[in-house]
Amino acid sequence: MGRVTKFDAALLGRRIEDPSSRGIASYVAELIRTGELTPGDALPHVRSLAEVLRVSPATVSSAWSLLKKRGLIMGSGKSGTRVSSPAGLVTRIEPASIIPARFDMRLLYPDPDLLPSLKPALVSASEMPGLDQYYDSPILPALRDVVEPEWPYPAEAFAVANGASDAIWTVLQSLSVPGDRIVVESPTQPQLLNLMSDLGLTVVPVPYVEGGLSLMHLEEAMKTRPVVVFYQPRAQVPTGNATATDRAWRIAEVLKRNTSAMIVEYDDLNALSLVDINSVGEYLPKRTIHIKSYEKSYGPDLRLAVIGTTVARMATVHAQIRLTRQWTSRILQSALAWLLQDEVTAEGVARARGIYAERLFALTSMLHANGIDVPARDGFCVWIPVTDEAKAIEHLTAHGILALAGETSYSTGALPHIRVATSRMEPGMSSQLAEILRQSALAL
């Protein structure tokens, strides 16, 4: 492979604004992601770039090490350093341990009785021609035809991932190197924080308040030069908040002043949410990547999420998919396409949405009656303020109820809360649970 030099030390040095190891790595990674640097292109020698940036050679070496860990560059010494690939390496994620229990209120799982039947969809999918052939398309055309008209903003390209976690991992892997900063809604889902930590990202928390991300805190967070702003636009876990139309526009205005950070939106509940989605992609379509999960609404074992973004960004995302797993099952994609067009399934999803809302509102209403003011918004859980998290969890456990400690939903300390799932709450359980929660919230 030839070694083409597109950026000598002087040119690259003039363009790097942040001469820290993380800043150097982030800027070079962006050149690779946008195609300004391509596989085989040579990078300046460590000492030459260090002299231009007026930093120690160790700083540049550290930046090169970060890029090598992600698999973006290769080589050293006399042979020089060159770009290897637009896609990075994947490290293993340790799954969080889960203990199923009758009163396990930690789990934000759909009720099996409210999921659509997969049998007719899978039968139809199994008859699709060409299943004995290898496949290289990022999304089945039949599935794209169904999801594209419902996308919250016009996206140029789509790809399918093996579930929401896989989609988020793949997208963030394609956008970052270890040490990069990522703005994340706070509080958020614990598994998302674990995933970002495993990628070596530095989380910059921004409060997710009623109406969306706090604009004041977002302004401050952008001063840290993050590579990504990540948030859930509706049915936010754990608060149930959603991004209002005017807030989406205002978020876009803040981000316009930062010309590099990408926006990653994660729509977890999808068709089960009670509100329409307001996407920043309506205002910044070329800088937005939207991820839509279909697991809670159509079936966890479908293991499907769809990613929508620009053609250029999708090239790096799809490269990562091809590197690690080639493609997502066409049978499952075809089954989802069938479900999304089936009228009986649509009626069932609408019914499920109503029942989940009833369970959420039943518990929040009983909590209000017991003196605990918890807003009834949207989603699969309630977010309850408590006096002492540890004592509240202990009190609930003594009554045979497992809840999630709020501290797991923050990257840094915050006011004490507990998260209680309502998606599988049994009929008539809300009144009994509300009294126990009241005692737990006030436990001293």
- Which range is least confidently modeled, 94-108, 156-170, 261-275, 306-320? 94-108
pLDDT band at 67 (very low <50, low <70, confident <90, very high): confident
Is the residue at 104 inside a domain? Answer: no
237, with CB counted inside 10 A (0-12, 13-18, 19+), is buried
Give kind and range of the element (H or E) at residue 229: strand 228-231
Question: Which of 75-79, 90-94, 237-241 is the most confident on average?
Answer: 237-241
**Please, which residues have CB within 8 angstroms of residue 278's CB and are 6 or more apart in sequence?**
152, 233, 234, 242, 243, 244, 245, 247, 248
- Written in H, E and C, the secondary structure of 397-426 is HHCCCECEEHHHHCCCCCCCEEEEECCCCC
Say yes or no: 293 and 332 in one domain. yes
Is the residue at 239 inside a domain? Answer: yes
Give me the helices (H) in 327-428, please.
330-341, 343-369, 389-398
Average pLDDT over residues 50-56: 92
Average pLDDT over residues 398-412: 88
At 133, list the tokens: 């052939």
CATH number, domain with residue 58: 1.10.10.10
Predicted local confidence at residue 217, as pLDDT? 97
At 145, list the tokens: 């035809």
CATH number, domain with residue 194: 3.40.640.10
pLDDT band at 197 (very low <50, low <70, confident <90, very high): confident
Is the residue at 92 inside a domain? Answer: no
Final residue before a domain boundary, out of 341, 361, 385: 341
Say yes or no: 134 and 228 in one domain. yes
Distance, in Å, from the CA atom of 249 to the CA atom of 108, rounded to the nearest integer, reads 30
Say yes or no: 149 and 47 in one domain. no
Is the residue at 90 inside a domain? Answer: no
Final residue before a domain boundary, out of 341, 357, 379: 341
Is the residue at 142 inside a domain? Answer: yes
- Which range is least confidently modeled, 126-140, 158-172, 208-222, 241-255? 126-140
Handedness of CA 141, 146, 147, 148 (dihedral sign): positive
pLDDT in tens, 346-401: 999 999 999 999 999 999 998 888 888 888 789 999 999 988 888 888 888 888 88
Predicted local confidence at residue 191, as pLDDT? 92
Strands (E), 151-201: 157-161, 181-186
The answer on pLDDT for 211 being more than 80 is: yes
Identify the domain containing residue 315 by its residue range.
119-341
Distance, in Å, from the CA atom of 7 to the CA atom of 9, rounded to the nearest integer, reads 7
Q: Are 328 and 161 in contact (CB under 8 A)?
A: yes
Predicted local confidence at residue 427, as pLDDT? 77
pLDDT in tens, 147-195: 999 999 999 999 999 999 999 999 999 999 888 999 999 999 999 998 9
Please state, as a whole number, how many other Cβ atoms lie within 10 Å of the Cβ of residue 256.
11
Say yes or no: 210 and 272 in one domain. yes
Tally DSSP H helices, then E strands, for the chain. Answer: 16, 15
Say yes or no: 334 and 386 in one domain. no
User: What percent of the chain lies above the pLDDT cut of 90?
Assistant: 57
Average pLDDT over residues 71-91: 61
Q: Are 416 and 388 in contact (CB under 8 A)?
A: yes
Say yes or no: 315 and 184 in one domain. yes
Distance, in Å, from the CA atom of 333 to the CA atom of 306, rounded to the nearest integer, reads 10
At 371, list the tokens: 């003196």
Say yes or no: 214 and 160 in one domain. yes
Give the gyration radius of the chain's Cα atoms.
23
Is the residue at 111 inside a domain? Answer: no
Per 3-state DSSP, what percentage of the chain is helix, strand, and coil (rounded to 5)? Answer: 45, 15, 40
Say yes or no: 33 and 17 in one domain. yes
Average pLDDT over residues 264-286: 97
Overall residue count recorded for the chain in this entry: 444
Say yes or no: 357 and 323 in one domain. no
State the total domains in the chain. Answer: 3
pLDDT in tens, 288-332: 999 999 999 999 999 999 999 999 999 999 888 888 777 889 999
Predicted local confidence at residue 78, as pLDDT? 52
Predicted local confidence at residue 120, as pLDDT? 96
Backbone phi, then psi, for 185, in 5-degree steps? -55, 145
Is the residue at 134 inside a domain? Answer: yes
Is the residue at 177 inside a domain? Answer: yes
pLDDT band at 97 (very low <50, low <70, confident <90, very high): very low
Final residue before a domain boundary, out of 314, 341, 368: 341
pLDDT in tens, 13-41: 889 989 899 889 988 988 887 788 887 78
Select from 325, 322, 336, 335 the least CA-distant residue to 293: 336
The answer on pLDDT for 117 being more than 90 is: yes
Mean per-residue pLDDT of the chain = 88
CATH number, domain with residue 407: 3.90.1150.10
Predicted local confidence at residue 102, as pLDDT? 55
Distance, in Å, from the CA atom of 324 to the CA atom of 226, rounded to the nearest integer, reads 26
Three-state DSSP class for 72? coil
Give kind and range of the element (H or E) at residue 33: helix 21-34
The answer on pLDDT for 87 being more than 70 is: no
The answer on pLDDT for 134 being more than 70 is: yes
The answer on pLDDT for 100 being more than 50 is: no
Say yes or no: 337 and 354 in one domain. no
Q: Which residue has the higher pLDDT, 61 or 71?
A: 61
Residue where the block lists tokens 């608060």: 239
pLDDT band at 96 (very low <50, low <70, confident <90, very high): very low
Predicted local confidence at residue 227, as pLDDT? 94
Say yes or no: 350 and 323 in one domain. no
Residue where the block lists tokens 């903003």: 153
Say yes or no: 125 and 166 in one domain. yes
Give kind and range of the element (H or E) at residue 384: strand 381-385
Average pLDDT over residues 44-69: 89
